[in-house]
Chain A
Amino acid sequence: MTADVHANAGRAVGVQPTVRVHRVWKRFGSRDALAGVSLSVAPGECVALLGRNGSGKTTLVRILATLDTASEGEIDVAGLSLPREETAVRGKIGVVLDHSFLPRDLRLEEGLRFYGELYGVPSPLERARVLAAKFGLGTRLTDPVRTLSRGMAQRASLCRALMHDPPVLLLDEPSTALDADGCRLLVQTIREHAARGRSVLLVTHDLPLAAAAADRALLLRKGKVVAEGAAAGVCAQAESEGSVAA
């Protein structure tokens, strides 16, 4: 059973996984969005979670991001257990969802600085400038967020998630609306983050992105893990089954 493999995965290598999901269920009424999902992400690792629309990917990210709660199962993030220690977990995770969470009418730098302040970043404005420059938004810092294109808003969303340099990065479809250049930056960012011993959980149906950025991958179908292994292998399997095509 995949669940048991995962319970031992961390121990086998001798490192505590930063994200550990053990037999997690999420029910919406009588529908199971997640049906006993188990996975783990080790420090310095990027794990991709693949699956078509409605397979439960986003549900899992929202649970790990402490926005929703699991119906059943155990979850540890950065050594803290969910949902008991959720406030502490929030300081350890950076999350990209389908919205930038930056207010439309504020300037980009104001939005980023605000999140820096909330996370207790020492000099938030400096940090915002460094990140924006890195993601090619250096010249747009003083523009209102509403004037950014969708691709740029996605880059801004990545900046926001990285403001506090989180030990765990949760990315839900981060390549949405990104151009080739943006995707390259995204892969580079993920690899850099992992290289510094931090963890990334990448949720996507973008197979080339997963193959380029992730070490391992899992394939989710109807709330269950149906395949897992090295990123390239799982991506190939997903492609041949057509189970990722939206």
Chain B
Amino acid sequence: MNNSTASPTPTNGADLADGSVPGALPLTGGSPGRLFLPHALITVAALAFMNWLIIEHAPFGVKQIGASYLIAFYHVPSAILMGVAYTLVFAAGIMVLLTKSVEWDRRARAAAAAGLLANGIVLVTGSVWGKAAWNLWWNFQDPRLTTSAVIFLIYLAYFVLSRGIEDEAKRARICAIYGILALLAYMPVKYAVEWFGQGSHPPKVAMDGAQIRDTLNAGLLAFFFLYSLLYRWKYDLDTLRERSDAALARVRRLEDSRS
């Protein structure tokens, strides 16, 4: 037990990362930034491939809604991955409460950030489609778009909450509970929309056919890379921020004990 805080020995990064010693800095989170560039390059390539498919492979226009359906290749994968990301926030929240580890809080926050970007793309693409279909940028009569907007608000509030709390453990706990409540509030809305009818949302049957399915799958993959890239970026950034804070606190303690 030589890692006591009152008489710290000079440490390097590897030493700092040892979380098993009592009193050592609870530093976890792997090595931030590793393989970030390859990940980014794959993302760009996948997005380019998806766009090529949209232009060259997918049919230009379907029944009922014509060419405006093409935006669905951005809209649908984002909507699906948004649900995945918010479910991760929920699951990570439960893990925070069970393990009391701020590690899971970072994961929850990163998932919320990825979900928020996906949610934003859902909103923008939905709005653009609305302009094409109804000549309106925004229509509160459409339950799906409105629902997405409310969910966007719910997870925007998640970040307001997270920024408002200074103590790390407390922030982890409170955000975890909010993340759980957010999904619980969002589930009934999702079903309510189906109960109360589809509004003007294009029915799913219009999006059938092998070429459309191929393009949609490619889009799902490309957007998965994009959102997981954002997840990693946010997670690594928070990890680094936490490490630098911890290191600064340690330096301050060292100075205190010398004076």
Give residues in A with beta carbon < 8 Å to B: 23, 25, 27-32, 35-36, 69, 72, 222, 224
Sorting the interface of chain B by its residue count into under 10, 10 to 19, 20 to 34 or 35 or more gives 10 to 19
Closest B residue, CB atoms, query A73: B22
Q: Give Cα distance in the complex from A32 to B249, angstroms.
A: 10
Q: A29-B169, A35-B5, A35-B6 are in contact. List 20 more A-B contacts (CB 8 A).
A: A23-B22, A25-B22, A25-B23, A27-B26, A27-B169, A29-B167, A29-B168, A29-B246, A29-B249, A30-B245, A30-B249, A30-B250, A32-B5, A32-B23, A35-B4, A35-B23, A36-B22, A36-B23, A222-B6, A224-B6
Closest B residue, CB atoms, query A26: B169
Q: Give Cα distance in the complex from A28 to B170, angstroms.
A: 9
* A222 surroundings in chain B (CB, below 8 A): 6
Give residues in B with beta carbon < 8 Å to A: 4-6, 22-23, 25-26, 100, 167-169, 245-246, 249-250
Known interface pairs A35-B5, A222-B6; A30-B25 also in contact (CB < 8 Å): yes
* B4 surroundings in chain A (CB, below 8 A): 35
Q: Would you call B249 and A31 a contact (CB within 8 A)?
A: yes
Our pick among A23, A28, A35, A224 for the contact of B169 (Cβ within 8 Å) is: A28
Shortest C-beta distance, B167 to chain A (Å), equals 6
* A30 surroundings in chain B (CB, below 8 A): 25-26, 245-246, 249-250
* B100 surroundings in chain A (CB, below 8 A): 69
A-B contact pairs, 15 of them (CB 8 A): A23-B22, A25-B22, A25-B23, A27-B26, A28-B168, A28-B169, A29-B245, A29-B249, A30-B25, A30-B26, A30-B245, A31-B249, A35-B4, A35-B5, A35-B6
Q: Give Cα distance in the complex from A35 to B7, angstroms.
A: 13
Q: Give Cα distance in the complex from A72 to B20, angstroms.
A: 12
Q: Give Cα distance in the complex from A23 to B23, angstroms.
A: 11
Closest 5 CB pairs of A and B: A30-B246, A30-B249, A29-B168, A30-B25, A35-B23
Q: Give Cα distance in the complex from A32 to B25, angstroms.
A: 9
- Give the residue among B5, B168, B246, B249 with the most A Cβ atoms within 10 A: B5
Q: Give Cα distance in the complex from A222 to B249, angstroms.
A: 14
Q: Give Cα distance in the complex from A27 to B168, angstroms.
A: 10
* A224 surroundings in chain B (CB, below 8 A): 6
* B5 surroundings in chain A (CB, below 8 A): 32, 35
* B167 surroundings in chain A (CB, below 8 A): 28-29
* A28 surroundings in chain B (CB, below 8 A): 167-169
Closest A residue, CB atoms, query B1: A36
Shortest C-beta distance, A145 to chain B (Å), equals 29
Q: Give Cα distance in the complex from A132 to B169, angstroms.
A: 40
Closest A residue, CB atoms, query B250: A30
